Amino acid sequence: MKTKTKMSKDKIEINGEWYVKESTLTKGKKPHIDITSSLEITHESKNWCFTAWVLLKDGATSIDDHYSDPSITITDKRPDKREDWVVMDNINNSLWVLDTLDNGTEAEKDFMAVYKCHKGLEEYREFINVLINKKWFSIDE
């Protein structure tokens, strides 16, 4: 079967069916999507990976112009197989995160209940202190 086509400026006819040309994005034309920028810090060791990110404010002019209180992912890499790694993803409760810094808190007990590793808790606390020093948390000093 032979395909028959006719064209006009904004339409094309193929085998008796007319199709309307859709507009395409052209160079220099702004897309109609919202983009959110973020900053990320990662600490990775043999057994652990901690990643934190904060969102930059709209119109941010520097990397210090971000919302406080990061989201954090904890990955326990101690199991040999990657599919067995334990991941606690998108922790965004700053009170819980900061509570893990103190001994005897519910947050510390939660961490230990999941990971059962004091060295992991120590590494995590060091990571959180880096975030505090970078002013990624809204805390009263």
Q: Where are the domains of the chain?
A: 38-133
**Residue 115: other Cβ atoms inside 10 A:** 19
- pTM summary value: 0.73
First-to-last alpha carbon distance for the chain, in angstroms, is 79
Q: In sequence order, what are the residues at sequence separation of 6 or more whose Cβ sits closer than 8 angstroms to the Cβ of residue 106?
A: 99
What would you report as the CA-atom Rg of the chain, rounded to the nearest whole angstrom?
A: 25
In 3D space, the residue among 24, 51, 26, 56 whose CA is nearest the CA of residue 39 turns out to be 56
> Looking at the predicted structure, is the pLDDT value of residue 12 above 70?
yes
Instruction: Tell the residue number behind the tokens 């086509």, with chain if given.
Output: 5
The pLDDT tens digits of the residues spanning 14-69 come to 888 887 877 665 666 766 788 889 999 999 999 999 999 999 998 888 888 999 88
